[in-house]
A and B are shown apart, each in its own frame.
Chain A
């Protein structure tokens, strides 16, 4: 591509991502001059219509922010409400939540790495085009997703917008024998998890290195999913309640989603890559063995490698669910209740795409007065734009069409969930 002229790369509508967005890259004097991740997914105003609804409805309503990761919303909103009311959820209910949530990681991760992202690395338009060359991969991907979905289905009724969960626990007691159905072909499922990871580890993934800030929950003894302290690779660790003090948000004219940065203005990355790098030791040993066999160790240094983190977490999730089922004992009560009281609380969970932050204030009748939701994808937009600037050289060395594709791939590294991201509240305005 020649140097001096001015041109643009416009991805009018991103494909193979959830939701409606585009990218606009301006190139001037052989350098990427300006990047805009343009989110035109229509706003849905959840924070507005949540007002006045019962705290009990928050899980069902917020789940509908995202059809790919509804459980993350269920978990975050339930946990925030439980914090307000001082409810301690039973161990059994927590285990069920974790199982289902891991089921969602599998469903969401496999959807992304197998269906949406792998085509990029193999130069294809869609997974359907991959089917002929790699039938086993597609079969495994479908089987893994089916199994992940089945986990959610048994515990919650259906994979998308499950109905079985509530503030305080679950709506009904799940019998151990119901869960054991999942173990019928468990050995094969484990093998599938491993095969998928191995396949991903052999993809031609671009090698680039640059510095990034990662932020995620950090587990104490377990890989983080439902809770943890917030940590980053700058050495910070803080409780979830302080999250808001550490970040700033901006509304952009070109985007229906907010952009988030650290207080010092630096973008940060949340999601599998961040979790992986900050919690590597907590991944199941079986997973680490495979990674190390293929020569991968943390930190993974570029966002193209996020696909590896996803595949690793998928295998981890499969292993984890098996262990949780074994440990599971039916509780005597499906859920805990507490006297309704006014209050405010924050909860962060690890959605497949990263930290999902919920904050609620309720009145003494249990009505929601205020809701604030920060989805992971919104947190990643600043990083996406930054990323394209950083890999600029790589992009500009390619012919136009490929360059455009690389821009798209770069965005896809984040597995953006655009529907989720069109939420905003409390912000600083950046006029462009």
Chain B
């Protein structure tokens, strides 16, 4: 590829987010150093003030698009990068800040700002794929650092990056967890959420709240019915399902019809 010594030129960008996904890159620790043998970090503002201009081989984008500025920025990144990867549930689904998408925006602004008119923000927080073509999407709030690394490794050898996107339940069972729905009667989003986090929540005895986003073929209606059987009101069911990845296509569609 195009960087120094045939290294790939990597850029890391931040949009609306908490920086937790960039943190995953730094958290790679020793593995990050190993990665640096193969990758030139051309742009990574949080880690380096040496910001080199594009074009980049791979752009990792953290965060959702929620301001007019970011809308321009992502388009610019796309033009300057061969491969664009959306990293984390903000970039991939709109993130936790998309919870505001379900509310009246003027109200939202007024709740938080005395001078709402000074605030420049789009009405909705949206995934970057709403604006540009994304080559690979890694979800998670935050993204799993090993999955992120694995994606980079796959890109490095020049293959299509792929990860299983079956239900969290599969990962949960592989790990040998006790199902919280069955053994405790606790609602868990695992059946409609994709694997990748290591089935963390059930490992800690609680239900998944969906931070990795929906599987390819999720069945939120069936899950909602089940939650109702467990004694949740419709309002509670909707609230459970409307969480970190609520603005993903299938969950959004479900909520819109469920609450009608």
Contact = CB atoms under 8 A, between A and B. Distances in A.
Interface of A: 13-20, 40-49, 51-54, 60-61, 64-68, 70, 111, 115-116, 119, 125-129, 131, 138, 142-143, 145-146, 149, 156-161, 163-164, 166, 170-172, 251, 253, 256, 334, 408, 419, 423-427, 429
A171 B180 CA distance: 12
B141 A253 contact: no
A124 to B, nearest CB: 9
Contacts of B33: 131, 138, 142
B150 interface: no
A358 B248 CA distance: 30
A68 B23 contact: yes
B97 to A, nearest CB: 4
A143 B244 CA distance: 31
A69 to B, nearest CB: 10
B5 to A, nearest CB: 14
Contact of B49 (A16, A64, A171, A334): A16
Interface string B3-46: 00000000000111111111110110110010010000100011
Contacts of A164: 204
The main secondary structure of chain A at its interface with chain B is: loop
Nearest to B142: A160
Contacts of A158: 142, 197-198, 200
Interface stretch (B113-121, B131-139, B220-228): B113-121
A51 to B, nearest CB: 7
Given A42-B67, A128-B41, A334-B205, A423 B112 contact: yes
Contacts of B27: 145, 149, 159-160
Contacts of A66: 18-20
Contacts of B47: 16, 115-116, 126-128
Interface stretch (B76-84, B99-107, B153-161): B99-107
Nearest to A125: B50
B70 to A, nearest CB: 7
A256 B119 contact: yes
Contacts of A52: 239
A44 B204 CA distance: 28
Contact of A142 (B18, B30, B41): B30
Given A68-B19, A128-B41, A157-B203, 19 more contacts: A15-B46, A40-B69, A41-B16, A42-B15, A42-B121, A48-B100, A48-B108, A48-B111, A53-B239, A64-B96, A66-B18, A67-B21, A142-B30, A158-B142, A158-B200, A161-B211, A408-B49, A423-B112, A424-B114
23 contacts: A15-B49, A42-B16, A42-B121, A45-B108, A46-B97, A48-B100, A48-B112, A52-B239, A60-B209, A64-B141, A66-B20, A67-B19, A127-B47, A129-B50, A142-B30, A157-B200, A157-B201, A160-B20, A161-B141, A424-B112, A424-B114, A425-B112, A429-B115
A70 B50 CA distance: 28
A200 to B, nearest CB: 19
A19 B112 contact: no
B24 A125 contact: no
A35 B142 CA distance: 35
A261 B29 CA distance: 38
B86 interface: no
Given A45-B108, A49-B103, A157 B24 contact: no
Interface residues of B, number: 61
B142 A163 contact: no
A18 B206 CA distance: 31
B46 to A, nearest CB: 6
B49 A19 contact: no
B103 A251 contact: no
B49 A125 contact: yes
B67 A67 contact: no
Report which residue of B20, B36, B45, B200 has the largest number of chain A beta carbons within 10 angstroms of its beta carbon: B20
A157 B33 CA distance: 24
A18 B205 contact: no
B142 A161 contact: yes
A407 to B, nearest CB: 12
Report which residue of B19, B108, B197 has the largest number of chain A beta carbons within 10 angstroms of its beta carbon: B19
A54 B119 contact: no
B124 to A, nearest CB: 11
B204 A424 contact: no
Contacts of B99: 49
B20 A64 contact: yes
Contacts of A161: 20, 141-142, 211
A60 B100 CA distance: 16
Nearest to A172: B205
Contacts of B67: 42
B66 interface: yes
B2 to A, nearest CB: 19
Contacts of B46: 15-18, 116
Contacts of B36: 128
A419 B17 contact: yes
B206 A171 contact: yes
Contact of B18 (A54, A111, A419): A419
A48 B112 CA distance: 6
Interface string B202-232: 0111100101000000000000000000000
Contacts of B70: 42
A171 B204 contact: yes
A160 B24 contact: yes
Nearest to B206: A171
Nearest to A111: B26
Contacts of A334: 205
B149 to A, nearest CB: 15
Report, nearest first, the 4 A-B pairs whose CB atoms are least far apart: A67-B20, A126-B48, A15-B49, A125-B50
A253 B118 contact: yes
Nearest to A65: B18
Contacts of A408: 49
B204 A429 contact: no
A273 B23 CA distance: 24
Contacts of B103: 48-49
